[in-house]
């Protein structure tokens, strides 16, 4: 299945890593180094199991494989199940420390279409040109396996990790994590932790590690406008109402040409970045610098500057049209007046904005503007979450990045993307960070998704060093021998 993995020599690929003066034991580092090829085979093993949550394809089979992989590293597992939800795989590995770190990942993946654009089958992982290709290899089965193998390295060498470790691996992140909050509410003690390492992490185009400190929230909606009970001939457009035009007029009322959302009260709880956060944002590189060239755009939305684009990605809400469909869109012509039109929208939110409150404002906006006939269905409803760059957890990661990569990490005040981070940060008050090893051009959610093999070891060392820095020397500095933080038996 990974015929060329054996051709990859970790000893050659990772020879540039300096391991002096690191908190991680030399024996643990050596174990990580010597087992890279086996770790890659385990990544391929998980990627080879389909787990498309949007189609419910292979999801439960993948959950069983994840359970087995946790147990293979010496962890205990629980298969948590709520009616109508994919299995949440919970795992734990104890130590003599009183601190607990939770790893959150998801084992579900995006659909593979368009299949014809894949250079190799999406569920037959293949290594070529220093990369492994396959659906979910970056988002985020590779990250999941790397975290398991980091803990395996500690268990095999030292007998225990630096602190208590818990794993929360869900199977519906790619469709909005609709049951995660209920899982955590139902089993609150299982997920109690001092800090979290979130699902994903990346290396930028210049090889710099990226430390992300939060995510935006989201409201995902579908709008349906119906004007007729069936499609009509377009010759009747002089007399019959066209729902597409009605939708176009509505969309024009939602956002202006300067990207300003016009729904009353939408910005009431949007707080400006603090002066020190602005300074960090201005000093740090940003993915905004590559967006125009990557996607072939000639200017930023609303003709804003690069500096404004950096601030918008980190700290401003958005209103995006994700898709519109109506009438005839096939080859040739068909003179038709559509009976209905559908539109999907996503609104990204920032800290303090409440999705339920804003959804109510949106519906009131439709009523006041005379669009109460528009059918609105809400999908994902997630608040934003963000950790301070001055927190001990973030500082531990920054220091670790400098120790492993010999350079400062890029600090991302907040990812412009969304995830259910709030489920943990709001309930437990725990800080959370994103760090890992995915390349900036990993093609997540697209054909030919991939990871770079030469980033895996450094990503694992960065995670291990971060934990060591946070919990103290060998993880036992404050040890009481109890697992007070996790609340687990």
Determine the angle formed by the axes of helices 36-47 and 59-72, rounding to 10 degrees.
160
Task: Look at 36 and 22; give whichever has higher pLDDT.
Answer: 36
Range(s) within the chain of domains with CATH label 3.40.630.10 = 5-213+387-475
Asked if the model's pLDDT at residue 176 lies above 90, the reply is: no
Q: Class of the 225-270+316-382 domain? A: alpha beta
| pLDDT value of position 460 | 97
Enumerate the H helices of 73-141 as residue ranges: none
Name the DSSP letter for residue 274: P
Report the pLDDT averaged over residues 131-152.
98
Give the per-residue pLDDT at 4. Answer: 40
Tens of pLDDT, residues 345-362: 999 999 999 999 999 999
Superfamily of domain 5-213+387-475: Zn peptidases (3.40.630.10)
Band (282; pLDDT cuts 50, 70, 90): confident
Task: Give the tens place of pLDDT for each residue, 419-468.
Answer: 889 999 989 999 999 999 999 999 999 999 999 999 999 999 999 999 99
- Please, what is the average pLDDT of the chain? 91
Nearest in space to 94 (alpha carbons), one of 78, 75, 68: 75
With CA atoms as reference, report the closest residue to 321 among 345, 347, 340, 356: 345
pLDDT tens for 367-397 read: 999 999 999 999 889 999 999 999 999 999 9
Distance of alpha carbon 217 from alpha carbon 414, whole angstroms: 11
Which long-range contacts does 13-20 make (Cβ < 8 Å, 24+ apart)? Answer: 13/130, 13/453, 13/454, 13/457, 14/454, 14/457, 14/458, 17/404, 17/457, 17/458, 17/461, 18/406, 19/461
Segment 34-53 shows an average pLDDT of 98
Domain(s) labelled CATH 3.30.70.360 in the chain stretch across 225-270+316-382
The pLDDT, as a whole number, for residue 183 is 97
- pTM for this one? 0.84
Q: What is the mean pLDDT of residues 217-228?
A: 96
């Amino acid at each position: 299945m990974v015929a060329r993995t054996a051709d990859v020599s970790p000893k050659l690929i990772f020879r540039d890593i300096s391991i002096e003066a690191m908190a991680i034991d030399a024996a643990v580092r050596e174990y990580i180094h010597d087992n890279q090829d086996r770790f890659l085979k385990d990544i391929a093993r998980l990627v080879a199991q389909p787990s498309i949550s949007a189609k419910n394809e292979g999801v439960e089979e993948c959950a069983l494989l994840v359970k087995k992989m946790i147990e293979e590293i010496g962890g205990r597992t629980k298969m948590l199940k709520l009616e109508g939800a994919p299995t949440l795989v919970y795992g734990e590995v104890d130590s003599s420390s009183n601190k607990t770190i939770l790893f959150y990942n998801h084992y579900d993946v995006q659909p593979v279409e368009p299949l014809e654009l894949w250079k190799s089958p999406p569920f037959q992982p293949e290594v070529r040109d220093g990369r492994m290709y396959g659906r979910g290899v970056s988002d985020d089965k590779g990250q999941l396996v790397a975290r398991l193998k980091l803990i395996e390295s500690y268990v095999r060498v030292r007998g225990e990790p630096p602190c208590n470790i818990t794993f929360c691996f869900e199977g519906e992140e790619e469709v909005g994590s609709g049951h995660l909050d209920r899982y955590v509410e139902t089993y609150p003690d299982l997920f109690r932790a001092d800090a979290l390492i979130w699902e994903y992490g990346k290396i930028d185009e210049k090889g710099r590690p990226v430390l992300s400190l939060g995510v935006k929230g989201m409201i995902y909606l579908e709008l349906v406008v119906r004007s007729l009970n069936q499609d009509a001939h377009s010759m009747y457009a002089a007399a019959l109402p066209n729902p597409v035009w009605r939708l176009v007029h509505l969309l024009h009322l939602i956002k202006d040409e300067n990207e300003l959302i016009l729904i009353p009260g939408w910005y009431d709880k949007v707080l400006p970045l603090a002066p020190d956060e602005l300074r960090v944002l201005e000093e740090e590189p940003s993915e905004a610098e590559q967006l125009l060239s990557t996607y072939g755009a000639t200017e930023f939305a609303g003709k804003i500057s690069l500096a404004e684009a950096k601030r918008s990605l980190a700290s401003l809400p958005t209103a995006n049209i994700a898709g519109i469909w109506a009438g005839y869109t096939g080859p040739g012509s068909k003179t038709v007046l559509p009976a209905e039109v559908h539109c999907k929208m996503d609104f990204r939110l920032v800290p303090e904005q409440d999705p339920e409150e804003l959804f109510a404002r949106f519906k009131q906006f439709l009523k006041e503007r005379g669009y109460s006939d528009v059918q609105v269905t809400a999908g994902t409803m997630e608040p934003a979450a963000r950790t301070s760059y001055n927190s001990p957890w973030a500082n531990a990661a920054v220091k670790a990045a400098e120790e492993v990569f010999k350079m400062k990490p890029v600090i991302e005040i907040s990812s412009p993307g969304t995830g259910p981070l709030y489920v943990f940060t709001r309930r437990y008050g725990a800080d959370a960070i994103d760090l890992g090893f995915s390349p900036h051009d990993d093609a997540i959610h697209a054909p030919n998704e991939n990871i770079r093999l030469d980033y895996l070891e450094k990503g694992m060392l960065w995670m291990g060093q971060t934990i060591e820095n946070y919990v103290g020397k060998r993880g036992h500095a404050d040890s009481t021998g109890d697992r007070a933080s996790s609340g687990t038996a």
